[in-house]
Amino acid sequence: MLLLQLIRVIWALVILVNLSAVMWFILGTTANFQRGIDLVSTVVLVYFGIPSILLIILSIILLFKRWPSSSSWSIIGVFIIIICMLSLSSILFKNVNTSGWLTENITTDTLQTTADGQYEYQLELINLFQKNSYARLYLKNVSTGEEIRIPLEIPVTNIRGLSEGKVNYWIALEATSKRDVFILYTTSKFPLPNEKYEIDVKIGKAMKVQ
């Protein structure tokens, strides 16, 4: 009787592990519901996620029916279910993608240098094709090595596709009469061309120019 009770406790814990694996996979695959499920993740969900859910439901039903019984066959059956659930949990945990959710998914164009040679710069698109996507300007002071990232109000959520080659110039920085103040343009190679911003490096701000 004590053995059966112990098996039920272990089984309940495995159910929680398997349920956590399914939930973690769904959250990771959708970047906490910020993007749709891609083809690879859909295949993993169909072959491993759905069987996990079915085994969880079956396990809960059997536990309520006081399984396993004293029958050796019922005990063997429970152990098979436990092994299957643990195997499925392992696969789901391994296939979780935290990019774009717990870690940033950054897409950049080719690094360029301002005409005065003072800064290296490039456009950074964060979590592209997700609801939480945004853009920022990356700057590096060539002489000091200081790195600056300035948020941009580019409506990147409107981007539906992005063509990338070996060399990509999506923005250009032009100097102004003011020191450390530049005009940023998005180029014709970028899906949203003719965006224009005044960049003040000292205060780390970008202002859209009409």
Pick from 30, 43, 22, 25: nearest CA to 100: 30
Q: Tell me the whole-structure pTM to 2 decimals.
A: 0.79
Mean pLDDT by 10 residues, the chain (210 residues): 88 97 94 89 95 97 88 91 97 91 92 95 96 96 96 95 92 93 96 96 93
pLDDT in tens, 131-180: 999 999 999 999 999 999 999 999 999 999 998 889 999 999 999 999 89
CA triplet 144, 148, 153: central angle to 5 degrees? 155
Query: Dihedrals φ, ψ of 168, to 5°?
Result: -130, 125
Question: In the prediction, which pLDDT does 187 show?
Answer: 96
> In the chain, at which residue ranges do the beta strands (DSSP E only) sit?
106-108, 112-113, 119-126, 134-141, 147-152, 171-175, 181-186, 196-200, 205-208
